[in-house]
Amino acid sequence: MTTTAPPTTAPATPSLWRHRDFMTLWTGQTLSETGSAVSTLAVPLIAVSVLNASTFSVSLLQAAGMAAYLLVALPAGVIVDRMRKRRLMVFCNLVRALAMGTIPLAFFAGELTMAQLWLVAALCSVCSVFFEVAYQCYLPAVVRSDQLLDANGKLSTTYSVAQVAGIGLGGGLVAVFGAARTVVIDAASFAVSAVSLLLIRRPEPEVAVPDGPRPRLREEISAGLAFAFRHPVLRKIVAASGTLNVFSQVIYALSVIYLVRVLELTPAEVAVQLALGTAGGIAGGLASGRLARRIGTARIIWVSLLGLGWTMLLVPLAEPGWRVAFYTVGMTGFAALCAIYNAAQISYRQQMCPPELLGRLTAGVRWIVWGALPIGAVLGGVLGTWLGVRETLVIAALGVWASGLWVYFSPLRRMRDFTPEPAGQS
């Protein structure tokens, strides 16, 4: 008598809610992002209300906080690939904690200056670049490959939660304690994030050491960019992300003017609209893993852009009164789009790239994609002045929606799910 073995089924992917190391990492990063959102409000308020800074000085403060993404992102990728990621992340968090902590100390000593605020913003910007590149490279060492998309979705939610909770919390804290004391929250959040990293139990893989002498810095930097541009899918994802960032920044650059001067909202109503729009990212981030499993881990990349991008066309249709809801729905849909799309495309990049090249690839992609942000902001100001605010928003909304065509007309259109490629292939 013969017996037939029962059919085997693939084991279900373990829930990240019960993954101790990931939850530790996620909790620490959520607190850190929330603290940073508090400082996003508190530090400019210190410059304006305490130091009586000029408009140009405050704009330099904003520029100092973004400059490192253009200046050091590419070499940061090389350095990240050469180091233990967790050790580097802990160091960056401690430096940011100390730097932010100097602001209230100098304030109470009566020695605070704009030069110090610029220096702190620039130093924190450099540390943020290194931390974020290392963070994306470290995640595959914490969770399984089939958990990456869900993990990136939850991490995308962190930013949206931080913006909603952090800015609201920051406003309340500034009103009660003053802007300088409120900055202590951000310094403490970086310290907590550093501790959370030290509590992760799973060991990090050894850093690969190449045989023979190391290539020159320029050659190592170009290796990450070359991998992205040679890959038939990654280069389309970079183009889509850059296009998305340019046109979305046009909308963000004009949002406050549009809400106040065209839709006739009060400052309190503007704050509510911005918070409601960001809340869409929370829902999108939490649902991204489930949607990707249903739609397909590869297919969701272009479906998210084309399937939700059209909602941005509602933004320029808003009018004073009840039709302000068009703006709310459009921006909520866009926030959900960004959370779902980013979780999927980052997971794709993490699985397609050899681990020893991931830092350089991540830094190269971020250099291009984040470099698009100031271009979009300037473009928004120019077009808004030349054509008008509403007309410019129509163009920007079409640009956001059309960004999905880059990935639709790529090999992704014929794929449902993606699987890791053998190391070294592109």
The pLDDT of residue 426 is above 70 = no
The pLDDT of residue 263 is above 70 = yes
Token pair for residue 351? Answer: 């699985």
Q: What is the pLDDT of residue 268?
A: 64
- Give the integer Cα–Cα distance in Å for 92 and 32: 12
Give me the mean pLDDT over the 325-330 stretch.
92
The pLDDT of residue 53 is above 80 = no
Structure confidence by residue, pLDDT tens digits, 175-186: 677 778 888 888
Question: What proportion of the chain, given as a percentage, has pLDDT over 90?
Answer: 23
Average pLDDT, the chain: 81
Cα separations (Å) of 141 from 133, 252, 278, 395?
A: 14, 35, 30, 42
Question: What proportion of the chain, given as a percentage, has pLDDT over 70?
Answer: 86
Give me the mean pLDDT over the 29-50 stretch.
78
Q: What is the pLDDT of residue 292?
A: 83
- Give the integer Cα–Cα distance in Å for 361 and 363: 5
Q: What is the pLDDT of residue 85?
A: 87
The pLDDT of residue 99 is above 90 = yes
Token pair for residue 227? Answer: 């991998």
User: Which has the higher per-residue pLDDT, 214 or 16?
Assistant: 16
Nearest alpha carbon to residue 351 among 257, 277, 281, 417: 417
User: Which has the higher per-residue pLDDT, 111 or 8?
Assistant: 111
What is the assigned CATH class of domain 223-413? mainly alpha
The identity of residue 314, as a single letter, is L
Instruction: Mean pLDDT check: name the lowest of 228-232, 279-283, 356-360, 370-374.
Output: 370-374
DSSP notation for 145-164: GGGHHHHHHHHHHHHHHHHH
Dihedral, 259, 263, 268, 272 alpha carbons, nearest 10? -70
pTM of the entire structure?
Answer: 0.70
> 65 pLDDT band (50/70/90 cuts)?
confident
> 8 pLDDT band (50/70/90 cuts)?
very low
Q: What is the pLDDT of residue 104?
A: 92
The pLDDT of residue 212 is above 60 = no
Structure confidence by residue, pLDDT tens digits, 146-188: 788 788 777 777 766 676 666 666 666 776 777 788 888 889 9
**Domain 19-144+168-198 maps to which CATH number in 3.40.720, 1.20.1630, 3.40.50, 1.20.1250?**
1.20.1250
Query: Count of residues for the chain?
Result: 426
Q: What is the pLDDT of residue 402?
A: 94
User: Which has the higher per-residue pLDDT, 254 or 302?
Assistant: 302
Q: Which is it for the CA torsion 136, 138, 144, 147, positive or negative?
A: negative
Give me the mean pLDDT over the 378-392 stretch.
85
Instruction: Mean pLDDT check: name the lowest of 102-116, 252-266, 316-330.
Output: 252-266
User: Which has the higher per-residue pLDDT, 146 or 58?
Assistant: 146
Q: What is the pLDDT of residue 243?
A: 94
Most distant pair of Cα atoms in the chain: their distance: 91
> 267 pLDDT band (50/70/90 cuts)?
low
Residue 259 has phi, psi (to 5 degrees) of -70, -40
Please calculate the CA angle 203-204-205 and round it to the nearest 5 degrees: 115
Residue 372 has phi, psi (to 5 degrees) of -75, -20
- Give the integer Cα–Cα distance in Å for 318 and 265: 12
Q: Say which residues have a Cβ less than 8 Å from residue 349's Cβ, sequence separation at least 6.
A: 234, 237, 358, 361, 362, 365
Residue 77 has phi, psi (to 5 degrees) of -60, -40
H-state helical runs in 178-233: 179-198, 217-230
Instruction: Mean pLDDT check: name the lowest of 58-62, 91-95, 345-349.
Output: 58-62
* Angle, helices 20-45/148-177, rounded to nearest 10 degrees: 40
The pLDDT of residue 381 is above 70 = yes
- Give the integer Cα–Cα distance in Å for 21 and 180: 34
Structure confidence by residue, pLDDT tens digits, 410-425: 988 888 887 755 444 4
Please list the residue range(s) of the chain that carry CATH number 1.20.1250.20.
223-413
Cα separations (Å) of 213 from 210, 216, 217, 258, 355?
A: 8, 9, 12, 56, 20
Cα separations (Å) of 89 from 9, 140, 150, 154, 339?
A: 39, 15, 22, 19, 23
Q: Three-state SS for 410?
A: coil
> 211 pLDDT band (50/70/90 cuts)?
low
Nearest alpha carbon to residue 131 among 68, 175, 179: 68
Structure confidence by residue, pLDDT tens digits, 214-233: 667 677 778 878 888 888 88
- Give the integer Cα–Cα distance in Å for 376 and 365: 17
Give me the residue label for tokens 């991204």: 288
